[in-house]
A = this chain, B = another copy of it.
Amino acid sequence: MQLKNDLILRAARGEATERTPVWLMRQAGRILPEYRAVRNRLSGFKELVETPELAAEVTIQPVDILGVDAAIIFSDILVMPEAMGLTYEMVEKRGPYFPQTISTARDLEALHVVEGDELSYVYDAIRLTKKELNGRVPLIGFAGAPWTLLAYMVEGSGSKTFSKARRFLYQQPETAHKLLDMIAQSTIVYLKKQIEAGADMIQLFDSWAGILNPVHYAQFSLPYIEKIASQLSGVPVTVFAKDAWFALKDMQDVSCRTVGLDWNVDPEEARKLLPNKTLQGNLDPCVLYASPETIRKETATMLDRFGNHPHIANLGHGVYPDTDPDHVKVFIEAVKSHKK
């Protein structure tokens, strides 16, 4: 299937593009009334994730409604721990919760390395989405980075400090490495199968990168990201390590094409540190709460700061659920109409 719009793939490969491509993390989700209409018919978040027809429907919504240059498959990074044997619940307004957690080496015995079929609902959703997209825009597949998944598996829920998960690294480093390796192996299988099913691009989300100290990040996160990224071929890979400003320079050596930036990173600084990478980001999601005039001005300023460096426009984090979709459209239009 020939893509009618391959801007984001060309930008990811570092090629010059006629304009900057744009999409938003969490674009398929609660910001859209059309998403909420689908979601409200269901028993819960997981039903949506696990039903390929519905996941495909909400994946495509932002392409139709917002006019983004890429779709990202509707799913969750926590499907992986579940496929490995640790089920999660998504508690309304509270976030993820794991009834069982990992606290000792023995707990790893209940886990297994994913072989692929455990997550066939994701591959089915990707195949369906690709068919329905019919080449309009590329489809992004994704997974959580091993450290971020371990953090949830040990902590059992979201946390401000993830101190249980970080304690685990200090008290049981060997078990931590063993678990990280199991997650990395599973993720390689998982992402290869996403690519087989039709994903045109892959993003790794290291959402809790920023709470590790730099030495631990270099020991417990980066090697596993590299292990995964180096095994994926044929499609460009993006790594988004939120708040890990201290590791930005190290991303230059990771086998990925694109590096995602949160809103605290100075684009000029990132360009210097990562001369060979495409950069993705990094408007403060809160800018979308401002007036259309301010959104246009801030978007233009951001684009100018990335200059001629290969760039994929995005926010510096997932769009906040209470953002007005019309303001999202203002952002997208501002990117599309910007003169380089």
Contacts and interface: CB of A to CB of B under 8 A. Distances in A.
B213 A263 contact: yes
A192 to B, nearest CB: 32
A170 B289 contact: yes
A114 B76 CA distance: 47
B320 A290 contact: no
B243 A243 contact: yes
Contact of A167 (B214, B265, B289): B289
Contacts of A285: 161, 163
A274 to B, nearest CB: 17
Interface string A227-250: 000000000000000010110000
A264 B214 contact: yes
A286 B320 contact: no
A194 to B, nearest CB: 28
A48 to B, nearest CB: 22
Nearest to A164: B322
- In this complex, which of A167, A169, A170, A286 has the most chain B Cβ atoms within 10 angstroms of its Cβ? A286
A128 B208 CA distance: 43
A67 interface: no
Contacts of A166: 284, 286, 289
A254 to B, nearest CB: 19
Interface in A295-339: 316-317, 320, 322
A213 B290 contact: no
A322 B155 CA distance: 14
Contacts of A160: 158, 160
A223 interface: no
B246 A290 contact: no
Nearest to A165: B286
A213 B170 contact: no
A201 to B, nearest CB: 26
A26 to B, nearest CB: 12
Contacts of A266: 214, 246
B163 A320 contact: yes
B170 A290 contact: yes
A51 interface: no
A104 interface: no
A91 to B, nearest CB: 15
Contacts of A265: 246
Nearest to A161: B320
A195 to B, nearest CB: 32
Contacts of A100: none
A219 interface: no
Nearest to A301: B215
A25 interface: no
14 contacts: A158-B160, A166-B284, A166-B289, A169-B286, A170-B287, A171-B290, A213-B263, A213-B264, A213-B284, A213-B316, A214-B266, A216-B284, A245-B245, A245-B264
Given A161-B285, A163-B322, 18 more contacts: A163-B285, A163-B286, A163-B289, A169-B286, A170-B287, A170-B289, A210-B243, A210-B264, A213-B286, A213-B316, A214-B264, A214-B266, A216-B284, A243-B243, A245-B246, A246-B264, A246-B265, A246-B266
